[in-house]
A and B are shown apart, each in its own frame.
Chain A
């Protein structure tokens, strides 16, 4: 048997121009991040004097210290961690449960409800901010992290994602076997459904975490300046120091370090997640 990939030139090692294009693309995605460090490590005088800057200056830590003094940085970092983790956890829990039901259990109205879930993925819920704000003020939640966590608790995408995954990943026979042994529905979910869902659940958690971490619009509206998440704190930094870009960009560097670190460790999983989702979605 011949390898299926062998015809069509798809297995030949590509020429240099391909790598040339790729290097250009990678530089394009890396340069702005590098630039924020380049400027963030200068002092105000240097960036106003020189036209072009090619090497990092020695001022990063001094800038960072100023940033940390002038915006509630640690508070914002902690808030971002809390909010993103809470949302990731809840999205995964509810999506796995619902996905398991949609993929593996039989019940009246299943098809219709699943179509409804898929349709809601296209609903721009962000446009409900005015009532959401009214509700949050009535509850007295404005300014608290609950106001940011609550709207993120479930996503239609998560339910769809887990449904698609569990359809293939979990054989019906396995559930039947556990049921025959007398396990209740929730026990069979716990012992068979959950373990099978783990890889997809981990990816979903990752995406929910990043999505919440980078979210700005709603936290900006509902949180107090004194108790922000990182993106909201960055906005304050810009408002305070718009003339001194070395300070602003050192704050940017501080704020993107956590997710860049996460990316270095889990970037491979992110790539796999996007590519899997694309084929199934």
Chain B
């Protein structure tokens, strides 16, 4: 008798121990599973960004390390440098020359891919091919194509009677050449994103549009494009964040990598590199990093705000977007 009760008690204790264990298992496991991401991201993403602000307030040498606290002096110095403003101009110019044509071309290509094609996979893969070529390799190839003297593009221009363009000397031509490299690599990728959005448009919407007597062109502009808006916003925002940090292509545009003799195509990240690793001035490099960070956040927020406004107004106009169930408040 006594033995049996003892066994029971032990069993109960074990069960309750197991129970408690499994209780903690349920409670803690989720945090355990997400913690690697948050820990590593804090260490390699957030901490460096915050620490950049700290470094930017100091004299800080690549070799010598931390020096005196100087307040905002690095920012003042940098903002007084002509190269900072030139880089800012170049960054925006290259960004606009790549982002705008790229989004337009990608939507056009997506529209063509949206036809009921023979050999769909072949065309889609063909469009995506440039994506697997590293930007450095792309830059080297296009450097040759855009050669000032013997480049193919100039020779083609010559045959149609246009004089050679000094791609590696003049400001806008160099921006154009660099933007072309970016576009080469990303247009097809973005076209596939747009294609997916187009195919997500319910086909009976088209039916309704046809019944209303809309032609193909009108259907595309009044139905397909508005319905793709979230995707377009997504692509614009991601290409803004990436485009304003462009480094590889301008770095490889000549063998010196300083953005040209008079910094015709020096971008802000290239400028950060020059300050930090050529001039060994980490304080100033950090100051520019922070300024660029603010610019990117500002532009992304602006993008978001504008596109929200546009979508709010045109939503009222078309009223075909499925509205998510949401409590009235």
Contact = CB atoms under 8 A, between A and B. Distances in A.
Contacts of B216: 9
Interface stretch (B32-40, B305-313, B315-323): B32-40
Interface stretch (B76-84, B88-96, B170-178, B190-198): B190-198
B179 interface: no
A209 B188 CA distance: 19
A210 B247 CA distance: 18
B52 interface: yes
Given A22-B112, A135-B48, A238-B255, A279 B203 contact: no
Contacts of B272: 127, 129-130
Nearest to A231: B136
B135 interface: yes
Contacts of A214: 132-136
Contacts of A184: 22, 25
B128 A267 contact: yes
A177 interface: no
B37 to A, nearest CB: 5
A55 interface: no
A113 B37 CA distance: 11
A48 interface: yes
Interface stretch (A57-65, A66-74, A197-205, A258-266): A258-266
Interface residues of A, number: 101
A156 interface: yes
B41 interface: yes
Given A98-B33, A128-B45, A238 B40 contact: no
B138 interface: yes
A255 B137 contact: yes
B155 A52 contact: yes
Among B37, B123, B131, B203: residue with most chain A CB under 10 A: B37
Contact of A256 (B133, B150, B199, B276): B133
A28 B128 CA distance: 11
B129 A275 contact: no
Interface of B: 22, 25-27, 29-31, 33-34, 36-38, 40-41, 44-49, 51-52, 54-55, 109, 112-118, 121, 123-138, 140-142, 144-145, 147, 150, 152, 155, 184, 188-189, 192-197, 199-200, 203-204, 206-207, 209-210, 216, 219, 231, 234, 237, 241, 244-245, 247-248, 251-252, 254-255, 257, 269, 272-273, 276-277, 282, 285-286, 289-290, 292-293, 296, 300
Interface of A: 4-5, 7-14, 18-19, 21-22, 25-26, 28-30, 32-33, 35-36, 39, 47-48, 51-52, 94-95, 97-98, 100-102, 105-107, 110, 113, 117, 120, 122-135, 150-151, 153-154, 156, 159, 184-186, 189, 210, 213-214, 216-217, 220-221, 230-231, 234-235, 238-239, 242, 245, 248-249, 252, 255-256, 259-260, 262-263, 267-268, 270-271, 274-279, 281
